[in-house]
A and B are shown apart, each in its own frame.
Chain A
Amino acid sequence: QVLLVQSGAEVKKPGASVKVSCQTSGYTFNDYYVHWVRQAPGQGLEWMGWINPYNGGTNYAQKFHGRVTMTTDTSISTVYMELNSLRSDDTAIFYCARMRIVAASYSFDIWGQGTVVTVSS
């Protein structure tokens, strides 16, 4: 069974950093890009970027450039997303999602359960 299991909820102060983990299982870790998507309270979904576990390559949304870092630990099949300089409007649920690529078809076929990050003074 393919699973993405994320770390627990976090409460941070403005200006701090948060690092969310996404532990994968049930498939070959290097074979699928992992993306991060966030959802502010009562809002829609916002794509943040991806990491290629095979070589550590990344691509971040322009909005998060300079504030987000995605990394992997291949020994434990885990992906991390760190967001710096947190602001109150970063309060959101952060999801990791596996991207399935078949020919020219790309879709988020498996999602983590989400990690709530609250930024408050």
Chain B
Amino acid sequence: DIQMTQSPSSLSASVGDRVTITCQASHDIKDYLNWYQQTPGQAPKLLIFDASNLETGVPSRFSGGASGTDFTFTITGLQPEDFATYFCQQYYDLPYTFGQGTKLDIK
């Protein structure tokens, strides 16, 4: 199985900050990576697909990047509604696997 190592597991930040989350894949997964946001009591929501493509309707302060097996997810100018948990997910090979998540909370 492809392991997705996500870091940090938690992160404290303030409104207006820029934050970056990373995911490292155990194998080459090309750009077959998605990012999801989950708020408490809700289902995950797709934000970024194919490593760097913004899902329709998602604000442009969210962005994604890739370099080899390393992937980044950045929020530029945190808004109050962005405090949530974020997951990466690879779809290069079955079983699809997720990172362990990054909980972003208010400093």
Q: Which of B11-19, B44-52, B60-68, B71-79 contacts A (4 or more CB under 8 A)?
A: B44-52
| A46 beta carbon closer than 8 Å to chain B | yes
Q: How many residues of B are in contact with the other chain, CB < 8 A?
A: 23
> Number of contact residues on A: which range applies?
20 to 34
| A45 beta carbon closer than 8 Å to chain B | yes
| A114 beta carbon closer than 8 Å to chain B | yes
Could you tell me if B87 and A109 are in contact, using CB atoms closer than 8 angstroms? no
The distance in angstroms between the C-alpha atoms of A35 and B94, with both chains bound, is 12
Total contacts A to B, CB within 8 angstroms? 51
| A108 beta carbon closer than 8 Å to chain B | yes
Say whether, besides A44-B87, A44-B100, A45-B89, A59 and B49 are in contact (CB < 8 Å): no
Could you tell me if A44 and B99 are in contact, using CB atoms closer than 8 angstroms? yes
Could you tell me if A107 and B49 are in contact, using CB atoms closer than 8 angstroms? yes
Can you list 14 A-B pairs, Cβ within 8 angstroms, ordered by A? A35-B96, A45-B87, A46-B98, A63-B95, A97-B43, A105-B49, A107-B49, A107-B91, A108-B36, A108-B46, A108-B89, A109-B55, A112-B43, A114-B43
Q: A residues near B, CB below 8 A? A: 35, 44-47, 59, 61-63, 95, 97, 104-109, 111-114
